[in-house]
Amino acid sequence: MKNTLIALLSIFALAGCKKEKNEEPKPEAIIISVSGDITAKVNEFRTILGSVLNTTPGQTSGRREINWDAVPDMFASQKIPSDFFNPVAPGSNTALQRGFRYAAAVDARISSNGFANIDASNGTEFSAFSGAKVFSAVSSNVWNVEFEVPGQSVAASVKGFGAVFSDVDDPAATSVEYFSGDRSLGVYKVPAAGGSGKFSFLGVYFPGEKVTKIRIRQGSTVIANGVKDITSGGTVDLVVMDDFLYDEPKAIE
């Protein structure tokens, strides 16, 4: 009898744990996830974010985009300033005030040769989706993005964020996690593209949420000299990025 009672209590305890884990499902979201020919889906996500592409501060609707061709070639060999796409000093270039930033410790760079300057094998691995330059963090393959009101040092939120990835081979290695404050809204995997230079796109839009932070897991390790991608005979999945898309950042109230 005693053993039976203990067994029943154990079952109830496990059931309670299971319920607790399931109490906070992912919030409602519109998910665009595609690999290969991604153009139509990228355009679909643009429409979801806002049909107007904003290029100056002071907007209340529409969307922002970043491709890396506006970043000078000098930042192929040195860290891009974390506020490059939201400078706020007097006289700053308003075209760069897009409300996007990441932690100052992140060493992020651009490349017009697929990061062949870091390892020659990369030159055949990565392609640019728009323009000629791609982007990668080289200090860590896991890094955070935050938002500000364009042209101001004011914390902001968005409802959606999407990015183009080049050469995703491992469907478990690359992901984007969305946060509202400290609350995770979910981790979303980036689909594999299956081959060098091919593209993947992930965009997630939360109609009822304020997204304040994005955590990007970019491949299984960072790009470095001597590190080869799976398709170049290596054992890791190296991934770079191109276009970023998000709706107009608004001050957090």
Q: Does the pLDDT at position 149 exceed 50?
A: yes
Q: Does the pLDDT at position 4 exceed 90?
A: no
Task: Compute the average pLDDT of residues 15-44.
Answer: 79
Domain boundaries, the chain: 27-251
Alpha-carbon span 166 to 162, nearest angstrom = 14
Share above pLDDT 90 across residues of the chain, in percent, rounded to a whole number = 85
Q: Is the dihedral of CA 193, 205, 24, 218 positive or negative?
A: positive
What is residue 194's predicted lDDT score, i.e. its pLDDT?
76
List the one residue out of 137, 206, 128, 131 whose CA is nearest residue 174.
Answer: 137
Of the ranges 7-21, 121-135, 218-232, which one carries the lowest mean pLDDT score?
7-21
Q: Does the pLDDT at position 10 exceed 70?
A: no
Taking all residues of the chain, what is their mean pLDDT, rounded to a whole number?
91
Long-range contacts of 81-88 (CB under 8 A, 24+ apart): 82/106, 82/108, 86/148, 86/150, 86/151, 88/151, 88/152, 88/153
What is residue 26's predicted lDDT score, i.e. its pLDDT?
86
Q: Does the pLDDT at position 32 exceed 90?
A: yes
pLDDT-based confidence at residue 24 (cuts at 50, 70, 90): low
pLDDT-based confidence at residue 25 (cuts at 50, 70, 90): confident
For the segment 52-69, what is each residue's pLDDT rounded down to a tens digit?
A: 999 999 999 999 999 999
Count of CB atoms within 10 A of residue 1's CB?
5
Q: Is the whole model's pTM more than 0.75, yes or no?
A: yes
Task: Compute the average pLDDT of residues 11-20.
Answer: 41
What is residue 141's predicted lDDT score, i.e. its pLDDT?
96
What is residue 61's predicted lDDT score, i.e. its pLDDT?
97
**Can you name the residues that pair with 155 across neighbouring β-strands?**
148
